Amino acid sequence: MPVVSVSLMNLPETEAALGWAGAHCLIADRPEGKAGGMGLGFNGAQLLALAIGGCFCNDLRYIAHRRGVAVASIAVKVHLTMEGEPLIATGAEMAVQCNLEDGSDPQPLIDEARESSMVGCSLPRGIPVRVSAGQGG
């Protein structure tokens, strides 16, 4: 069973978190003035929306490569709806624009990506998240 691990730690002299996996990193923070946030990076809702859209973009590319189709351009917009206290994500809508180099209809690729996107398929099913005090980083 594949496992993906990421690490996060505080970014010195801030209340933001630096997250990394391999050679890639990003900053997670709250908006400036909110609970010590400095607006240095993405908040949790933005990270979740980026995970939904980013995974979908990658899946479009995987499918296109497998089918031998060249993608000219991809543009994705994700709207994440939240409500409640604590604030939770209650839905996501994604608008996808995909153009293939040969001018053919991209809808079959979009449909397959919708049906196979790891993040997009995992969220509706739900996953357990266990939290424990322990060794980080």
pLDDT at position 134 = 79
Cα 68 to Cα 65, 71, 109: the distances in Å are 5, 10, 11
Domain parsing of the chain, residue ranges: 7-42, 43-127
Q: How confident is the model at residue 137 (pLDDT cuts 50, 70, 90)?
A: low
pLDDT tens per residue across span 64-82:
999 999 999 999 999 999 9
Tell me, what's the pLDDT at 59? Answer: 97
pLDDT tens, 31-56?
999 999 999 999 999 999 999 999 99
Q: What is the mean pLDDT of the chain?
A: 94
What is the third-level CATH fold of 43-127? GMP Synthetase; Chain A, domain 3 (3.30.300)
